[in-house]
Structure 1
């Protein structure tokens, strides 16, 4: 019997002027551990004058994780943060009780051709921390734990696993782990996984119990302890997951909460433009209607 309980394929979504592949949430699986939202951005080529431009928009009740494989994004938020994220770095923004931010192509690249490729992820906060003060953390590539074992190169982007700890300040037990190889290799990582676990294939393929799975597929395990598979040559995969929360999480647009009343309040707050402003920005993303918010962000 297969140890894979669910196979989720990317679904195209438009997030303004940019197409992404949506992985979570999915109709049959809203969350994997505390992970509630995953978008695969690109790979996209943008000619000179074509740029990523997502004006200020709000978040509550979650942390966002941006991890780029290629390209550059300028992040600005209502805390006054202004930082460029480059490939291999991590932007970790915790919204808590409320934050607004923008994501754009940096000014020095706007009139040149460029590529953009990466993951945008939301991690729900524990109920006791949903209304914490917003924070921001940026990690350089060299800050992230990296090690090699049995032909696999590991990078721990966030969380704790395999005796390693990322400096990214997470708020519940979780892991977001990259595996890369050059030659065909069998991997048994099950003894290290905890909570719920998902496996995303970025490049190459894996074989599990006689079935081959390829890029842009997210696999959810039935039993983490039985997680054994073979990576084909030059494969890149991501394990993510952790302990699920006991309470349900509601999601509307960019808002996540264990209390839907809190989401309703955030809607009104954004409609009234009462979120803190992003310095240097004048535009904003309008609140979507009740029936069309899914095509915007969720």
Structure 2
């Protein structure tokens, strides 16, 4: 990468099967496991699901993390073992904290299955700080009209979670972090070093970081302390935060203690996780079982 930019490295997506569809995975990667506390990032779509099709992610478990779902188009229904049932509309935020254990599903809205339905968005996992890894599971939701935003000449910023760009989101997160959408209409915005680690994902259109064009669904890790300018005509997501330390990752389990992950495997095999009310079957078996 040229010294003229603040880009530390570029990460290209890899296709992965999830539920009834495929996603493009950016994190974790062999050379970069995390950006701040963000340990996982999948881009869903953009795609059109025809009549009779839909998204179905059956009941599956998590520990040691929070899932964050942010859709740019389409909608989905989230259910989890805390009893939460929530339709995720475009630009709303779902934040589910697994702590010591949670089970959840994500499915297309029933009204969307008989018609053509769009799906496009970002799902991330945030590793919890050590003191929260085994806490009780909980669920938070911010409607789209409660997400703080700031507009300038040819660019607007929507802060989904945490703090950044002079804004503070209703969902603060489990540790200092930022997750924001940049709507670029020919303008530019500077990404200040408010957090130790940051990255930019080009979601759609022509997105530039310090003049370097990112491929669509490419992630650029930003040099620590730098102040890059993001510009163009398109959509980008900014994520990052303060590191929480090394984490082991196996399937849907994230934890600082590998033995806790081994215990979670055994618990899921014997179906000893809490159930999702009214949506506990079918459930996803452990990989390799």
TM tier, shorter chain?
over 0.9
> Which residue pairs with 2:121 in the alignment?
118
In the alignment, what sits opposite 2:221?
220
- Which moves more between the two structures, 249-258 or 10-19? 10-19
Distance in 1, matches of 2:246 and 2:222, equals 20
1:182 alignment partner, SS class: strand
Alignment CA distance shift 1:186-1:144 (3 Å):
closer
Query: Distance in 2 between the 1:210 and 1:81 partners?
Result: 43
Of the three residues 263, 277, 280, the one matched with 1:265 is 263
Following TM superposition, by how much is the alpha carbon of 1:211 offset from its aligned partner in structure 2, in angstroms? 3.3
Secondary structure class of the residue paired with 1:277: coil
1:211 corresponding residue in structure 2: 212
1:34 matched to which residue of 2? 37
Determine the C-alpha separation between the residues in 2 that align with 1:67 and 1:112: 22
Q: How does 1:143-292 map to 2 (within 5 A)?
A: 143-183=146-186, 185-190=187-192, 192-208=193-209, 211-229=212-230, 231-232=231-232, 234-245=233-244, 247-281=245-279, 282-289=281-288
> Do the aligned residues in 2 keep the contact of 1:197 with 1:224 (CA within 8 Å)?
no
Give CA deviations for 1:36-72 in whole Å, capped at 9, x if unaligned.
0000001111111111111100000000000111111
Which ranges of structure 1 fall in alignment gaps of 5 or more residues? 291-298
SS at match of 2:226: helix
How many angstroms apart in 2 are the aligned matches of 1:271 and 1:169? 34
Output the TM-score relative to the length of structure 2: 0.94
Residue 250 of structure 1: how far off its partner (Å) = 0.4
Which secondary structure does the structure 1 equivalent of 2:174 belong to?
coil
- Number of matched residues? 285
- Of residues 68, 73, 78, the one that matches 2:76 is 73
Higher mean displacement: 117-126 or 276-285: 276-285
Deviation at 1:212, TM superposition (A): 2.4
| Aligned-CA RMSD value | 1.5
Residues 92-131 of structure 1 correspond to what in structure 2 (within 5 A)?
A: 92-131=95-134
Shift of residue 210 of structure 1? Answer: 5.2
- Tell me if the contact between 1:8 and 1:219 (Cα under 8 Å) persists in the aligned partners: yes
Structure 2 residues without counterparts, runs of 5 or longer: none
Cα deviation, 1:114-150, whole Å, max 9, x if unaligned, reads 1111111100000011011000011101111111134
How much has 1:33 moved relative to structure 2?
A: 0.2
